[in-house]
Amino acid sequence: MRPLALTALGLATPLGCGKAATAVNLFSGSVAGLTERRDLLFDRAVTVGVVDAVLPSARPVESDCRNNRLMQLVLDEIAEPIAQAVQRYGSDRIAVVLGTSTSGIAEGGAAVERHRHTGVWPEGFSYRQQELGGLARHAAAYLGVTGPAYTVATACSSSAKAFASARRLIRAGVADAAVVGGADTLCRLTLNGFNAIEALSPTRCNPFSRNRDGITIGEGAAAFLLEPGDGPVRLLGIGETSDAYHASAPAPDGAGAAAAMRQALADAGLSPDDIGYVNLHGTGTVLNDAMESHAMASVFGRLVPASSTKAMTGHMLGSAGACEAAFLWLTLSPVYNPERRLPPHLWDGMSMPDLPTLNLVAIGDRLPPGGRMAVLSNSFAFAGSNATLVLGQGEVA
């Protein structure tokens, strides 16, 4: 199996737009992207993570939704490397595999509300704006590539699982390279759905605290160019498991989550001792954090540095896996992180009683000096759809 490198990255999250701005805010523990909004929930204000950027318009009209515009923004950041890949491989040999859970449902909800009150659909509204498959379809058309293009939708593990799908296409010889990632944007349907099951925190989430009281929702997008060869950051391993324990609650013992981590390590040919940092799923809900603490303790013990970045961004849902993989990419990058800092874990410092204690990263903590390093990220979704990614430093071109 030829090694696969993540040779280019574009991203936009509540921590900023672009690699440089995001890195500064990520390693300093910024919460500037979290804000209170009063237009999302029916009954109260709520804290959310927002991408503060002017987004490009998307055409044609059936592609014009915030989700596609956000993806277009991050694709623009890596337009030149993708164009070079088209020259190397041909447009028909580049796949597009992206993850989402919201697609353009915000526009769909607004259109339904308009029709309900006026009997008229908004001018320019197209049903196709809210199709789950629209994200990859739009990205492929925007890039002018004609290889396989599809969207993965497995709730909060969607864009992490997109890496596995893209790798399978390359290994099977169906494609030579792939644009892989995901996008999810804020919408009333999602926020009110989580509110209905009493999963939302009224303020900023507090992962792995005894005082945790739910998730904070955010939005974001990330896109990578995945291709054979070496590079500053390589995709080393992937683990996928399916609990099917419950429609929304994770298996309490974390067995499926632990199995995904072990599978990813085995796929990478690594042991737990080879991992220098773990980006936790860490949503801040009572059940997820308890489950993940058991899973982490069973695989890594309590020494590996770990953090949940969701207290800085909110849970970016279907795009979380790709965006948090982007945080790993930045962590490993000698260009954007020459001091080898780690993404900090923001919380109140009150550990969970009767649960394994994790080695949570403080602001200023760093990777150990010397040698190449591997890092890992977890994404766990409703119904136990689990995905773990392992990234590592490669050769600098």
Catalytic machinery residues: 156, 281, 315
Q: How far apart are CA 13 and CA 221, in angstroms?
A: 6
376 pairs with which residues across the strands?
Answer: 278, 390
| DSSP alpha helix (H) spans, the chain | 19-28, 66-77, 79-89, 105-118, 134-143, 158-171, 188-196, 255-268, 286-300, 310-313, 320-332
Helix pair angle (255-268, 286-300), 10° resolution:
40
Cβ atoms of 46 and 191 closer than 8 Å: yes
Tell me which long-range contacts 267-274 makes (C-beta under 8 A, separation of at least 24): 267/236, 267/237, 267/238, 267/239, 267/390, 268/236, 268/237, 268/374, 268/390, 268/392, 269/236, 269/237, 270/236, 270/237, 270/374, 270/390, 272/299, 272/300, 272/301, 272/304, 274/374
Q: How far apart are CA 166 and CA 170, in angstroms?
A: 6
Q: What is the DSSP letter of 101?
A: S
